């Protein structure tokens, strides 16, 4: 891509010197008289904050307990524990370096206008994360998911990237002093940076906490773990989530192969930091570094960012890819509408690739390219862009995104006969679909949409911020306070207008389809940039500017404190610093981790032969089981129900289980009761009768594990052995049939 703007001399970083914050800027201007705008701003912010902190007060005690507990236990950390943490951290670092090397290969021939090495490093690493995911998927497809294959590959790529970084640094021009070093930052900027560091350290603590997030245990890591154990791509027909696109998930698979799930958690943590680096990179190019620092702090203080960082979810990866799709599109637009009306192919292709990575992580990200296409059509109608540019850009976005998304579509065609299973099953006659009623339940729960009428739609930002929507958790008041104030001004920088405009379109699509707050995350980086720009660059009176900056600090501190409240409730810091073992922590109930099966899984891993195959009943979280297993999702019936329905009697069911290779079963009573409403274990009358016949002859209890709380039992997890015909003919105790008698709720 050819450069179109001339800038100053290149810095040591390998790029150009960005405009210092003392240079004159084309700042926004008022739409209204400033006294009217200032009065409205003060009244609105006061109204929002009064209501918000009435719902979410500062949990000072939680912060003191977490910090006090961690600092007090630091001297007792053992060398073994420290070594484990260090090696985990190093493996995660090597994985990101290896991703950067893949991204560097991909961008070898691309040139960016006024580019600099720091920006390229961010783009290379983010692009490489997606490419590393596809490399893991390719290894799975060819049966190469072995640690002895992946580890040398990752180390080699990482060392190559590290060497290139050192060579780039040595070959760079002499370093010039930054125009505004840390010691000369304004006091509130220093506080903002300190708050960012606090959240980063807190997030690192969460990243080292044992994994307990339901979605990750059930499918984000649960499904790839089946492939890792088999060393190849396997179908999981009883888990509908296994057929969703998995770009971020397969990025985590690399961590599973090089060490364990703790590396995967640090990969997720790193994606959050990479989002912040991308925010800063955008602002450094289009706005000012100071706006970038504040915007990164605002984004990273969000409760959902810390929660997903510690949960090993996919939303941060989707946010990163979506943001960089908007980022690349904004700078393509800036060059395309310039005096020469060029067509910077590298930027628009990169935007399409990031769209593909985002859609390849979750189908909801389809609204990213849809938002960009809407921007193109609008620009064509307004003659901001020529229709030739619109068609070329739109075609490039669609083509690049489709190519990147295609591996997941092909996999679904092979496994299910439908490229976008479980969606649009009616359009594909050959689809091997699951129960349509259960799939409808999946779509309903995924959207959790309860907006009623125009008034409900307009009040949605307020309801989400004030915690009035299900699973909205703790949202920040920063966006609700400051984004509406930006309408008082006009003449914003072009890249900010384009990226923020696309983010608004994405948010509108979100508001029309779901109210789940974490699905909104792809739009939040540019909302954070807009909010930071509003408090730093719009021409408020100086006193009001200082008040707004201090208010943002207080609000972000409140967001951080809410994340400390969750840490305190989860007590995840205890195993991190050695106050209890990982096994002890995972064996008991925690907030968001009800009725765990880990104690039974741990016993199975130690006692059963490596060739055992386990059928898990009443439980979807199979990740910690280190034996081949089947764990059905809450939107799939258990295979035991289907096999009982298809069998004429207990003996036929026994034959079917043997053909499927099932040697043992696990039943989680507490979790099956909690999930009873999904009908995972609801037998019909005929199936229940077959199960009783089978149970009375072929099942023997091996052991059970009880969870106690407050001196009373709260859960029981049972492990059964399935007997051969010879063993079944011998006398043996018949275990209680909880399935047909109490859990299933079947006709008896």
Residue spans per domain, the chain: 594-743
pLDDT reading at 12 higher than 60? no
Residue count of the chain: 748
Rounded CA gap, 474 and 459, in Å? 17
Rounded CA gap, 38 and 527, in Å? 21
pLDDT in tens, 411-451: 999 888 889 888 887 777 766 666 777 777 777 777 777 78
* Residue ranges of E strands in 27-184: 29-30
Tell me what pLDDT residue 178 has: 58
Tell me what pLDDT residue 9 has: 34
CATH of domain 594-743: 3.40.50
Q: Is the peptide bond before 601 cis (omega within 30 degrees of 0)?
A: no
pLDDT in tens, 643-699: 999 999 999 999 999 999 999 999 999 999 888 888 888 888 888 999 999 999 999
Among 66, 559, 478, 477, CA closest to 304: 559
Radius of gyration of the chain (CA): 27
pLDDT in tens, 382-415: 888 889 889 999 999 999 999 999 999 999 998 8
pLDDT reading at 53 higher than 90? no
Rounded CA gap, 314 and 70, in Å? 28
Q: Which helix (H) or strand (E) holds 228?
A: helix 222-230
Rounded CA gap, 96 and 252, in Å? 11
β-partners of residue 703 are 719
Q: 664: which 2 tokens? A: 């043992």
Contact 661, 612 (CB under 8 A): no
Under the banding of pLDDT at 50, 70 and 90, the label for residue 4 is very low
Which percentage of the chain shows pLDDT scores above 90?
54
Contact 661, 610 (CB under 8 A): no
pLDDT reading at 601 higher than 60? yes
Among 657, 731, 643, CA closest to 690: 643
Under the banding of pLDDT at 50, 70 and 90, the label for residue 708 is confident
Strand order from edge to edge, sheet including 664-668: 628-631, 613-617, 664-668, 712-722, 699-709
Q: Which helix (H) or strand (E) holds 543?
A: helix 542-570
Q: Which segments of 483-541 does DSSP mark as H helices, in order?
A: 494-513, 524-536
- DSSP per position, 163-183: HHHHHHHHHSPPP---SS-GG
Rounded CA gap, 34 and 544, in Å? 11
Rounded CA gap, 253 and 129, in Å? 12
Tell me what pLDDT residue 565 has: 83
């Amino acid at each position: 891509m050819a450069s179109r703007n001339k800038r100053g001399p290149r810095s040591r970083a390998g790029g150009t010197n960005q405009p210092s914050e003392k240079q004159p800027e084309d700042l926004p201007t008022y739409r209204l008289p400033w006294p009217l705008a200032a009065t409205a701003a003060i009244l609105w912010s006061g109204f929002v904050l009064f209501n918000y902190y009435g719902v979410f007060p500062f949990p000072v005690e939680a912060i003191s307990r977490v910090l006090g507990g961690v600092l007090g236990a630091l001297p007792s950390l053992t060398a073994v524990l420290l070594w484990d943490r260090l090696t985990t951290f190093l493996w995660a670092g090597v994985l990101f370096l290896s991703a950067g090397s893949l991204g560097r290969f991909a961008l070898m021939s691309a040139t960016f206008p006024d580019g600099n090495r720091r920006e390229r490093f961010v783009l290379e690493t983010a692009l490489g994360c997606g490419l590393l995911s596809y490399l893991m998927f390719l290894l799975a497809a060819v049966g190469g998911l072995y640690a002895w294959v992946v580890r040398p590959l990752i180390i080699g790529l990482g060392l190559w990237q590290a060497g290139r970084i050192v060579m780039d640094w040595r070959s760079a021009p002499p370093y010039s002093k930054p125009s505004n070093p840390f010691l000369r930052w304004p006091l509130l900027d220093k506080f903002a940076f300190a708050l960012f560091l606090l959240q980063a350290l807190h997030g690192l603590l969460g990243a080292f906490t044992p994994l307990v997030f339901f979605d990750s245990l059930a499918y984000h890591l649960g499904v790839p773990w089946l492939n890792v154990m088999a060393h190849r791509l396997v179908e999981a027909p009883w888990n509908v989530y296994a057929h969703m696109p998995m770009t971020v998930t397969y990025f985590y698979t690399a961590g599973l192969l090089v060490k364990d799930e703790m590396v995967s958690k640090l990969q997720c943590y790193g994606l959050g930091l990479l989002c912040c680096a991308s925010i800063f990179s955008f602002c450094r190019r289009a706005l000012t570094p100071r706006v970038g620092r504040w915007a990164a702090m605002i984004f990273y203080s969000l409760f959902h960012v810390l929660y997903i960082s510690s949960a090993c979810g996919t939303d941060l990866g989707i946010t990163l890819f979506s943001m960089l799709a908007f980022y690349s599109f904004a700078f393509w637009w800036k060059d395309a509408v310039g005096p020469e009306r060029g067509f910077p192919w590298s930027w628009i292709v990169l935007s399409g690739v990031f769209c593909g990575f985002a859609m390849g992580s979750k189908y909801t990200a389809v609204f990213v390219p849809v938002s960009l296409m809407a921007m193109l059509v609008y620009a064509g109608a307004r003659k901001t862009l020529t229709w030739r540019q619109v068609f070329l850009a739109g075609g490039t976005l669609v083509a690049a995104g489709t190519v990147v998304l295609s591996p997941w579509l092909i996999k679904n065609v092979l496994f299910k006969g439908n490229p976008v299973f479980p969606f649009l099953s009616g359009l594909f006659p050959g689809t091997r679909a699951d129960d349509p009623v259960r799939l409808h339940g999946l779509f309903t729960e995924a959207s959790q949409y309860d907006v009623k009428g125009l008034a409900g739609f307009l009040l949605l930002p307020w309801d989400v911020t004030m915690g009035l929507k299900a699973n909205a958790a703790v949202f920040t008041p920063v966006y609700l306070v400051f984004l509406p104030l930006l309408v008082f001004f006009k003449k914003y920088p072009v890249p900010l207008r384009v990226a923020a405009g696309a983010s608004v379109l994405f948010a509108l699509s979100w508001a029309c389809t779901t109210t789940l707050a974490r699905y909104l995350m792809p739009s939040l980086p540019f909302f954070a940039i807009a909010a930071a720009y509003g408090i730093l660059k719009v021409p408020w009176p100086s006193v009001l500017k200082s008040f707004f900056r201090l208010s943002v600090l207080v609000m972000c501190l409140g967001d951080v404190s809410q994340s400390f409240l969750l840490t305190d409730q989860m007590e995840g810091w205890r195993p991190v610093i050695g106050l209890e073992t990982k096994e002890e922590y995972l064996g008991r109930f925690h907030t968001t981790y009800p009725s765990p099966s880990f104690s039974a899984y741990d016993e199975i891993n130690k006692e059963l032969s490596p060739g055992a195959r386990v059928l898990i009943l009443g439980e979807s979280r199979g990740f910690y089981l280190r034996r081949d297993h089947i764990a059905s999702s809450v939107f799939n019936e258990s295979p035991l129900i289907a096999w009982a329905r298809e069998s004429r009697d207990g003996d036929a069911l026994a034959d079917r289980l043997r053909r499927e290779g099932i040697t043992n079963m696990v039943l989680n009573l507490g979790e099956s009761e909690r999930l009873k409403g999904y009908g995972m274990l609801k037998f019909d009358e005929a199936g229940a009768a077959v199960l009783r016949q089978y149970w009375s002859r072929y099942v023997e209890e091996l052991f059970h594990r009880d969870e106690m709380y407050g001196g009373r039992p709260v859960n029981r997890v049972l492990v059964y052995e399935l007997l051969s015909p010879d063993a079944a003919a011998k006398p043996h105790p018949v275990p209680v049939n909880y399935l047909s008698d109490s859990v299933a709720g079947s006709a008896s």
